[in-house]
Amino acid sequence: MSKLKIALAGLAHVHAIGFLRIFNAFKDEVEWVGFADIPDAKGSEAESLACRLEKNVGSSTPLPPQFDDLTSLLDAGPELVCIASDNNSHAEVAEACLLRNISCVIEKPMALSMSDGRRILAAARKSTATCAVNWPIAWFPAFNLAKRLVDEGSIGRLLRVTYRSPNTRGPYCLNASEDRAALGDIWWYRHDRGGGSLADYAGYGFTLATWFFGRQADRVMGLRKNFLMPFAPGIEDYSAFIADFGDGVAHAEGSWSTFSSGEIPTGPVLYGSEGTIVCDRFTPEVKVYKTFKPYTRALPPEETLAPKNDPSLNLGRQMIDHLKSGKPLHQMITLDFNLKQLAAMDAGVRSCESGIAEKTLDPFA
């Protein structure tokens, strides 16, 4: 079987190195065509190629051949393009790939607005290629086990989904010694390029809630704050949302201003009519609580489950198998699913501006 020809578009995202590492693990099955940076026309020296390489790839990681721009990279004939540009460029880059019938995988989130999501959908409908979205949480064995337990009815009817940010001060770990003026020029700290904790971390909560409930939210209420980053006034370092799923609700939190999580699980925590499931992104275990004893501390879990290793829970394995043999993708990274996720995030963004609960839009309209 011939090797899958892949390329990397953009080095702005801190997960760019993840694409390189993931696909480098399949050297017998893939071949790197090259990479091209996706520059920000409004950017400064802080977002130069050298800076992106230093912060997001590192000097020890070998890079494939460099191309001057996206057009020349696509002209080289990749079959799959990994998109790691700033969030605001996702629709433009994905559209360019799809209209050439080149498959792409976008580093989360898919897009920042419903208009950009529909732009990607329109290009996909004209294309024979696949568009996927990489959510790192799709590959967490514990989260996949929790999803199976919920679908099997282990905790009865699902009522609530909660996901919190871990302790973090943002993608570049803001501290007193950091050059804050320079950070203010980097896209992560600029609203016009899709920076901020909302897209970075609250998106995980919207994704998990949509996945566990198995449907699109009806409406979302949200707020956003900037507690610690006055050098970046256009973004939030904290955001919180309540999403209404009809007969269920979800709480999603996105924070770059959490000093310590205080041993509280990030979640997803899944509250059902007959039990509770607790997961944490830093532990491989799934805890299931089935004993009801009101107004007391929780009793020990009835079950503490360790999921089995599953080689298919890997972005590289998924994309290679899908493009070479047509194997279905993990639901969380499919285009249709991400449009439903985006509907909730889009409503949350609008709610932060209006101050009222906003209805989700039909992404397929």
CA atoms within 13 A on the CB side of 46: 16
Burial 93-114 (b: 16+ CB within 10 A, else e): bbbbbbebebbbbbbbbbbbbb
> Per-residue pLDDT tens for 165-182?
999 988 877 654 556 667
The CATH code belonging to domain 140-310+343-359 is 3.30.360.10
Cα–Cα distance for residue pair 212/243, rounded to 1 Å:
13
Give me the pLDDT at residue 109, please. Answer: 97
CA neighbor of 9 nearest in space, from 130, 79, 104, 126: 104
Give me the pLDDT at residue 45, please. Answer: 46
Give me the pLDDT at residue 73, please. Answer: 98
| End-to-end Cα spacing for the chain | 40
Cβ contacts of residue 94 below 8 Å, gap of 6+?
83, 104, 106, 120, 123, 131
Give me the pLDDT at residue 184, please. Answer: 78
Reduced DSSP (H G I as helix, E B as strand, rest coil) percent helix, strand, coil of the chain, to 5: 35, 20, 45
CA neighbor of 217 nearest in space, from 198, 200, 242: 242
Domains of the chain by residue range: 4-137+312-333, 140-310+343-359
Give me the pLDDT at residue 298, please. Answer: 77
Residue numbers of the chain with a pLDDT score lower than 70: 41-51, 54-55, 59-60, 174-181
CA atoms within 13 A on the CB side of 57: 22
Give me the pLDDT at residue 346, please. Answer: 98
Question: Are 4-137+312-333 and 140-310+343-359 the same fold in CATH?
Answer: no
Give me the pLDDT at residue 92, please. Answer: 97
Cα–Cα distance for residue pair 357/309, rounded to 1 Å:
41
Q: Look up residue 251 and give its two tokens.
A: 């709480």
SS3 277: strand
Give me the pLDDT at residue 179, please. Answer: 63
Token pair 């970046």 in the structure block, residue: 232
Give me the pLDDT at residue 343, please. Answer: 98
> Per-residue pLDDT tens for 301-345?
999 999 988 999 999 999 999 999 999 999 999 999 999 999 999
- Burial of 198 from C-beta contacts in 10 A (0-12 / 13-18 / 19+): buried
Give me the pLDDT at residue 358, please. Answer: 98
Whether the full predicted model's pTM is greater than 0.75, yes or no, is yes
Give me the pLDDT at residue 54, please. Answer: 67
Tell the CATH superfamily of the 4-137+312-333 domain. Answer: NAD(P)-binding Rossmann-like Domain (3.40.50.720)
CA neighbor of 34 nearest in space, from 5, 2, 4, 3: 5
Planar angle of CA 110, 178, 20, nearest 5 degrees: 40
Task: Cite the DSSP H helix spans in the chain.
Answer: 16-24, 49-56, 70-75, 90-98, 114-125, 141-151, 180-183, 197, 203-213, 315-325, 335-354
Give me the pLDDT at residue 41, please. Answer: 53
Cα–Cα distance for residue pair 121/187, rounded to 1 Å:
25
